[in-house]
Structure 1
Amino acid sequence: MTPTTYRFGRFHLQPQTRQLLVDGQPARLGARAFDLLLALVERRERMVPRGELFQLVWPGRVVEDQNLKVQVVALRKLLGEAIIQTVPGRGYRFAAEVDDGGTTTIAPPPAPTPPPSAAAPTNLGAALGTLFGREGDLAALHGLLAGERLVTLCGAGGIGKTRLARRVARERFDHHPDGVWLVELAPLADGALVAATTARALGFAPTAERSSAEGLARSLAAFRLLIVLDNCEHLIDAAAALAEALLAHAPQVKLLATSQVALHLPGEQVYRLGALALPAPGDGADSAAVDLFVSRVRAADARFALTSAHHDAVVDICRHLDGLPLALELAAARVPTLGVQGVRERLGERLRLLTGGARGAPSRQQTLRDALQWSHALLGPDEQAVLRRLGVFAGSFGLGAAQQVCADAQIDAWAVLDHLAALVDKSLVLTEPGEPPRYRLLESTRALALEELQRCGELGLCRKAHAHATAGLMHQAYETQPKMAGLAWIAQWLCETDNLREAMAWSLGAQGDMRVAAELFSSAGAFWHLSGWIGEGVAHYRALQPRIDPAWPAELRARIALAVARLSAFYGIDPGEGARAAREAVGLLRESGNPQRLYTALYFLIPLAERVSSFDEIEPALAEMRALERPDWPPALRLQGRWAQARQLPRQGRSLEYRDAFVREVQLCSAMGDDRSAWLAAHSVALAELQLGRPNDAVQVLAGVAAQIRSRGMQRQFVYQIAMLATARIVAGDAQAAGADLHEAVALLRGEGALWWLGDSLGRVAARRGDFDAAARLQGWAMARTAERGDRRGPVMQAESERLAAELAPRLDAERLRTLQAEGALLDDAAVAALALGAAPMEPPSRRVP
């Protein structure tokens, strides 16, 4: 009978409910990871071959070995490295003991032991300085060494493997009576010398017997030792042979190896060391990476203190260097000469900047370039080719795109897959868990890859291939967008943000390709909008606009026009220009026979026509949408028809019906799991409440929406809902409560160049605090921005304008009011923000930059 729950340590695995509880709380675990864990637990009495796991977890499908590895990594991060053991070349084994008591027999990490006495048998030398941010890694390695004989600490060059291994070794003297010994392999160039070098490190006189791996191992049969084999990667076969011999013939010897690549021996436990933790958004400078950087700067200049003046620059340096300890130490050494800001500004030339390592550091770590070249030199020619070509990717990338960019006549797509797996194994490419998995280079590795591309004359070709690959991905995104709820769609494609930016920059550049730029921009219209990067999309359009070729296919020109209309509908482009683009898209799509895209183009035309007072276009567009719509279309698409129709109700004096219609839409969208549409529908409900004179009800609706938006960290994507909440609070007469919302909205809207959207609400804030001169200036600014955009105020903002005018009329004479309004028309966004938020002196404003 199958148990209802499997218990091991803090974990309860429940097959019937498909849940994993950690300390009684459900863990976030993907479906594939759950299936894999269940398969291993149910077969815990034996090693489960990879082929069997593929059939259990991905039945009837052909999948790559990397998919399995990614799921194992995800489980180890949750459960701990020791619970799932790798049997190299064969499969995996569940190593925890499952019983009714819920206990596990994996050895717990022992408490660190005191430093050894002067007589302790070791060659480790003096203790090193503070180890930043490695407490969890230390505990994990102690736990592994307590129960395993061979542990390999893997990671990229400069990640801190040697320092961590030395610390672990120093804390384990009490467990190894015959000593803890460090064997430094980095200086060796000949694998034949590994055994003899190890013998000398252990203090043995050189003999012919001890110059062979097996001979040395047999001579250590009675010893209780911990041997640290440091920097195995360049002599991996010889290091593996020695380790294998020691495991076979020296039963009381334990091994801790450091390497960029695993030894791939039976019984080996691999522990992958990541970079130091970086500050989380909003956490200030609280992180191990920042602590290390500041510590090293202070070592070079005792006067240095981390202050608000250079706080952001320090965090930025740590982020750009990916928390890589070697890079952080080298950067810190430059601060006394260049200053923090000077280092930050020169990170684009990091391979030249980051030189001058510590006097006692190995030669391969005297500069960042030396460390990277050491790793690069260990690769075969084809692996080097794949690594350098991956340098054109920004951020993370998928397997398909990597194959498209890296393959050539000599290296086919399957070979790229093999080489990519090898680069992951050698710690030069990182994997990001997911389904499917994604990959990325550390920024420093990427810098070397781009240099190598330039040296080999492949940079232009690879940038072109990258742009084409990204255009293909964006077209896939364009095709799937109407079929998916907005948040689910953007969650799938947001990972391509950096690659899209990189591809757009190349294709719009001097060596680029305008047709590729057009493909990218036109397919990414929904991406710019749904990701919240509307201003960025507009900037790309402005660069592309003068170079649009009328000879391009009608389908491409229709996509460009539809993208422009979408950006305009969400306030990125003036409504007059947006309406013209929407009309162009409608005309081209009628000819192409794409009813769903035509339906969407009409949906965007309607509000744009209303904003430019072209009301005679609205009813024909609605009628055409009704004629086009089919019941088998995706729900996310058919929603457009209902919303376009309902939004005409306020213009007909039917605000209550408008409210009720969108209350139903909130319920419908919530039931479908379409949170984005539910939030937008709630925004319309709040607009109706304001039009009905019920601002407190509007605040209640929007406050609930804003709480959900903030809980997901999506304020940038939904800034207009935050801004409308501030406006509703102002209308309700609670300017004080509006303060936090207003500050947030002003900052976000300024970043998108859309501060004008708040209009006269900003003036009303100034009026509420009794600053009527500032209110009049802000009124003049709002009037000027509305006029220059050719826009038409909606009912809520028109009512705000009228309220502000009514507040100013009895307090300022007509001439004074006109003077202040004229001054306000010249304000730039920075001055407006300061004036609205009460942070600016009441002096004549700076002139607005045209």
Structure 2
Amino acid sequence: IANNLPCESTPFHGRREELDDLTMALASPDVRLLTLTGLGGMGKTRLALAAARHFIRAYTAIPPRFPAGVWFVSLAEVESDDEETLARAILQSCGGRPLEGEPALGAVIRHLEGEACLLILDNLEHLPAARDFVADLLHKLPNLTLLATSRHALELRQEIVRHLDGLPVPADAHDVGVASMSMLVERLQRLDDGFRLTPAVIPSLIHICRTLDGWPLALELAAGWAASLPLSDIAERVVTSIAVLTTTMPDVSPRHRSIEAVLNGSYLLLTPAQQRILAGLSIFQGGCDLNAVEAILRATLDDLTMLVRRALIRQNDGRYTMHELVYQFARQKLVHSGEQERVAKAYATYYLHLLTSQQKALYSLHPLPAVQRLRSEQENITRAWLWAAEHGEYGALSAALPALIRFYLFTGWDREGEALLRKTRTFIPSSPLAIDILLAQITFCQKSGNYDETQSLLESLPPWETLSPVQQMEAHLSWARVFTAWGKVSAARKHWEHALRLAREINHYEAMAVSLNELESLNRYDGQYMAEIADLREKVRDLWVQRELDIFAGGISIHHRRYRDARDYWQDALEISLELEDGATAAVLYNNLGDVLRELGEFEQSEAAYQKALEFGRKYHFGWVRRNVLEGWARLCVLRGEYEQAVAMLKEAVQLWADSKERYGEVLSYICLGHAYAGLQRWALAKDAYHHAMTILPDMPHLALESLAGLAYICWKEGNEHDARAYVARFLAALEHTEFAGFASPDLSYARVTEVLQALGEKAQAETLLSRSLSADASAQG
């Protein structure tokens, strides 16, 4: 089939789906005009030519789709869009000549009329009048099919538009066969025949592909630096500077010798208002919605639509975003415009007001819409917050701080919240606001499990008497959490009581709920605070506090062996956490559900819950949940007789708890380690583990019950009747003043001591203990 298609100078990578789609469309007689759109250097011309080549092969049994030929017309260097100039360009490419005195357009029509032909008009974006010319051609040549490439659509009724984005980028180190990687590697090997795809270079290649978002021209320009720079340096430079993406190769079109030139070509086609909007859009992080861009940049929907059509920005699910390289280009334009400070101030004002406006909803029974609204703007909120801190907008920060704290707590972004507030403090002089921000930082720090840093920050607070009542309450809460974690019961109780008193005085429901829950826990759930907790539960209209009360109610229930109640409370709290995408709290609740399902004997479901807890912990970088899971899962292994697996888990758990200085968890891990060694009949190691557990927190005697039961059992197994009796006596004496926590697999200890008592001839005591165990079991089942 007659054609003038240029030869391929480099291999064609990827685009298989796009190529198939384009070829199928062109094969249909109903398709008259198809336009490929996208940024310059995105591969529009290469794709158009690849599709066109499908129609120049002649087949004996199949009539050709375009018997009159396939003609490629490059308009990149055409400067005028008048009818005669465009027609002459077509004639030149197709090999036609006008008759004497014949207009060029008439010659084109004469040359192309008759049988079907395909005309490829390449690079139409800078020729606005070409739209009318194309419409005229289609009207006068009914057998003509036009394939156009442009940075924006022609907006004709017959037009079918196919937009091109970058080539697919690798998802991980195993995904090296995607088109962007294969293209980058091929270009690197053209420059250096010794280049090989090795594990050492894969991370840098992935970084380049992802940063450039698979933009073919950008990948080619980046590869051009391989002779001068290590790949790791190229990977870092493309993130920070668009200037690195350039070449001086003479056989590359001047408009494609740098990404900056490509983008500048599109920029010059914009109106002044559109240029201003594009520059201003670089202020946003992670995109923005229409309300924000209208309020901050005074943009119109028409102008934004034009920027989308010209492929300079993207619009998806109501948000406007831009390619990283377009962002760098637009950022340069904003800096040079002199508008940067005005735009930044409007930006900070908008997002801090947005944060403040959501405060009421965040502290209500229905915070999810507010959380979702703020989650989509988290990057913008962070940037606006830091700008306001750096530029002294202290009133706006103070007004927005409660909403910021609750938002980060709901999402479980404890580390992110702590990092943001730590950075904020570098801009805030000594003031009540500085103390509020420090206390908020302390809250996130201790929620991340970093108690040493929490203590250090608490010690940096000014004297108690200089703090407001709310600040004193927050400080007491944080000190109480630290001492609770470290097993310092008396000190913890003192601070919980101070926090509760202040919370009552200022009617702070959240602090009241936390303090009451923790004090009831320290009192071994003796009911002292239960009436007030129940009353608070009826009054509170705050989902965060209600979830905390559900979590606590689950704790009470499992302690008293009401396992099904505990499961229901924690399942409710988990559903709230999953809906809020609060992965950190979800991880904790999956771990709790693992514990309660284990005690219900639902071992498979228990293991699945522990696996979920670990999965969420990894996904949300919530590492300290692992030590909780290991201890609980090891108990499950003990109950299933998988003692070696339990030992392996507990050795890791003991070390993690010791490193964290959370003594309570360390005690439980040593106890369970004793159980596992006892199951393996390694009596000496089991006794060491039990004895060590009893020495860590001597002022919490209820924790000694499991160890005493285990020691009695081991001594009996070893034939040491004297010591077995002594440990049984200590066990029974302790049981008069305390009880087993339901999560501690009490049936195991009851069974061991009952077996020892029977073996020692103490049948009455054995029956009494067995009756107590059965009574507890009946309560649990009920």
TM-score of the superposed pair, with normalisation by structure 2: 0.70
CA gap of 1:303–1:643, structure 2 versus 1, over 3 A, is same
Does structure 2 conserve the Cα–Cα contact (< 8 Å) formed by 1:218 and 1:249?
A: no
Residue 277 of structure 1 pairs with residue 168 of structure 2: yes
Query: Partners in 2 of 1:285 and 1:644 — Cα distance?
Result: 48
Q: Give the secondary-structure state (helix, strand or coil) at the position aligned to 1:336.
A: coil
What is the aligned counterpart of 1:798 among 655, 660, 667?
667
Residue 425 of structure 1 pairs with residue 299 of structure 2: no
Query: Partners in 2 of 1:186 and 1:470 — Cα distance?
Result: 43
Does structure 1 conserve the Cα–Cα contact (< 8 Å) formed by 2:610 and 2:629?
A: no
Q: 1:280: Cα distance to partner?
A: 2.3
Match in the other structure for 1:220: 112
Residue 152 of structure 1 pairs with residue 44 of structure 2: no
Match in the other structure for 1:416: 300
Does structure 1 conserve the Cα–Cα contact (< 8 Å) formed by 2:367 and 2:543?
A: no
CA gap of 1:546–1:629, structure 2 versus 1, over 3 A, is farther
Does structure 2 conserve the Cα–Cα contact (< 8 Å) formed by 1:185 and 1:229?
A: yes
Listed as ranges, the matches of 1:694-709 within 5 Å are 700-704=605-609, 706-707=611-612
Q: Give the secondary-structure state (helix, strand or coil) at the position aligned to 2:127.
A: helix
Identity %: 24
What is the aligned counterpart of 2:122 among 210, 230, 235?
230
CA gap of 1:686–1:667, structure 2 versus 1, over 3 A, is closer
Listed as ranges, the matches of 1:701-850 within 5 Å are 701-704=606-609, 706-707=611-612, 710=615, 715-716=619-620, 724-731=628-635, 732=637, 762=652, 764=654, 778=655, 782-783=657-658, 785-786=660-661, 792-794=662-664, 796-802=665-671
Q: 1:310: Cα distance to partner?
A: 2.1
Query: Partners in 1 of 2:633 and 2:454 — Cα distance?
Result: 27
Match in the other structure for 1:647: 555
Listed as ranges, the matches of 1:91-130 within 5 Å are 120-130=1-11
Q: Give the secondary-structure state (helix, strand or coil) at the position aligned to 1:337.
A: coil
CA gap of 1:784–1:136, structure 2 versus 1, over 3 A, is closer
Q: 1:605: Cα distance to partner?
A: 4.8
Q: 1:175: Cα distance to partner?
A: 1.9
Residue 325 of structure 1 pairs with residue 216 of structure 2: yes
Kindly provide the amino acid, as one letter, of the partner of residue 685 in structure 1.
Answer: L
Listed as ranges, the matches of 1:7-406 within 5 Å are 120-147=1-28, 148-173=31-56, 174-192=64-82, 193-206=85-98, 213=105, 216-217=108-109, 220-236=112-128, 238-281=129-172, 283-356=174-247, 358-406=249-297
Query: Partners in 2 of 1:464 and 1:620 — Cα distance?
Result: 53
Listed as ranges, the matches of 1:478-557 within 5 Å are 478-482=359-363, 493-509=374-390, 513=393, 522-545=402-425
Q: 1:162: Cα distance to partner?
A: 1.1
Residue 455 of structure 1 pairs with residue 336 of structure 2: yes
Query: Partners in 2 of 1:521 and 1:698 — Cα distance?
Result: 44
Does structure 1 conserve the Cα–Cα contact (< 8 Å) formed by 2:4 and 2:70?
A: yes
Query: Partners in 1 of 2:507 and 2:645 — Cα distance?
Result: 42
Query: Partners in 2 of 1:161 and 1:447 — Cα distance?
Result: 23
Deviations 1:300-340 (A, max 9, x none): 11111122112112111111111111111111111221111
What is the aligned counterpart of 2:593 among 677, 682, 685?
685
Does structure 2 conserve the Cα–Cα contact (< 8 Å) formed by 1:706 and 1:721?
A: no
Query: Partners in 1 of 2:526 and 2:436 — Cα distance?
Result: 20
Alignment RMSD, CA only? 4.5
Q: 1:154: Cα distance to partner?
A: 0.8
CA gap of 1:462–1:372, structure 2 versus 1, over 3 A, is same
What is the aligned counterpart of 2:567 among 659, 663, 674?
663
Query: Partners in 2 of 1:423 and 1:232 — Cα distance?
Result: 16
List gaps (5 residues or longer) in structure 1: 1-119, 408-414, 743-759, 765-777, 787-791, 819-850
Q: 1:286: Cα distance to partner?
A: 3.9
Does structure 2 conserve the Cα–Cα contact (< 8 Å) formed by 1:396 and 1:439?
A: yes
Listed as ranges, the matches of 1:561-572 within 5 Å are 561=439, 564-565=442-443, 568-571=446-449
Query: Partners in 2 of 1:221 and 1:739 — Cα distance?
Result: 85
Match in the other structure for 2:348: 467
Deviations 1:105-164 (A, max 9, x none): xxxxxxxxxxxxxxx422222134332220000011112222300001111122111111
Query: Partners in 1 of 2:527 and 2:163 — Cα distance?
Result: 63
Q: Give the secondary-structure state (helix, strand or coil) at the position aligned to 2:548.
A: helix
Q: 1:671: Cα distance to partner?
A: 7.9
List gaps (5 residues or longer) in structure 2: 57-63, 462-466, 475-498, 693-782
Q: 1:447: Cα distance to partner?
A: 0.2
Query: Partners in 2 of 1:156 and 1:739 — Cα distance?
Result: 59
Does structure 1 conserve the Cα–Cα contact (< 8 Å) formed by 2:591 and 2:609?
A: no
Q: 1:377: Cα distance to partner?
A: 0.9
Kindly provide the amino acid, as one letter, of the partner of residue 420 in structure 2.
Answer: H
**How many residue pairs end up in the alignment?**
634
Query: Partners in 1 of 2:275 and 2:646 — Cα distance?
Result: 57
CA gap of 1:294–1:210, structure 2 versus 1, over 3 A, is farther
CA gap of 1:646–1:375, structure 2 versus 1, over 3 A, is same
Does structure 2 conserve the Cα–Cα contact (< 8 Å) formed by 1:706 and 1:722?
A: no
Does structure 2 conserve the Cα–Cα contact (< 8 Å) formed by 1:562 and 1:585?
A: no
Q: 1:463: Cα distance to partner?
A: 2.7
Kindly provide the amino acid, as one letter, of the partner of residue 592 in structure 2.
Answer: S
Q: 1:451: Cα distance to partner?
A: 0.4
What is the aligned counterpart of 2:510 among 593, 600, 603?
600
Kindly provide the amino acid, as one letter, of the partner of residue 446 in structure 2.
Answer: S
Q: 1:361: Cα distance to partner?
A: 2.4
Does structure 1 conserve the Cα–Cα contact (< 8 Å) formed by 2:119 and 2:144?
A: yes
| Structure with greater proportional helix content | 2
Q: 1:350: Cα distance to partner?
A: 2.9
Q: 1:640: Cα distance to partner?
A: 2.9
TM-score of the superposed pair, with normalisation by structure 1: 0.65
Does structure 2 conserve the Cα–Cα contact (< 8 Å) formed by 1:220 and 1:250?
A: yes
Q: 1:288: Cα distance to partner?
A: 1.6
Does structure 1 conserve the Cα–Cα contact (< 8 Å) formed by 2:279 and 2:334?
A: yes
Kindly provide the amino acid, as one letter, of the partner of residue 422 in structure 1.
Answer: M
Q: Give the secondary-structure state (helix, strand or coil) at the position aligned to 1:379.
A: coil
Kindly provide the amino acid, as one letter, of the partner of residue 643 in structure 1.
Answer: I
Q: 1:568: Cα distance to partner?
A: 3.0
Q: Give the secondary-structure state (helix, strand or coil) at the position aligned to 1:182.
A: strand
Q: 1:362: Cα distance to partner?
A: 1.6
Query: Partners in 1 of 2:368 and 2:621 — Cα distance?
Result: 10
Does structure 2 conserve the Cα–Cα contact (< 8 Å) formed by 1:394 and 1:502?
A: yes
Q: 1:245: Cα distance to partner?
A: 0.9
Does structure 2 conserve the Cα–Cα contact (< 8 Å) formed by 1:626 and 1:641?
A: no
Query: Partners in 2 of 1:259 and 1:595 — Cα distance?
Result: 69
Query: Partners in 2 of 1:359 and 1:431 — Cα distance?
Result: 36
Kindly provide the amino acid, as one letter, of the partner of residue 341 in structure 2.
Answer: G
Query: Partners in 2 of 1:670 and 1:805 — Cα distance?
Result: 32
Q: 1:213: Cα distance to partner?
A: 4.9
Does structure 1 conserve the Cα–Cα contact (< 8 Å) formed by 2:503 and 2:509?
A: no
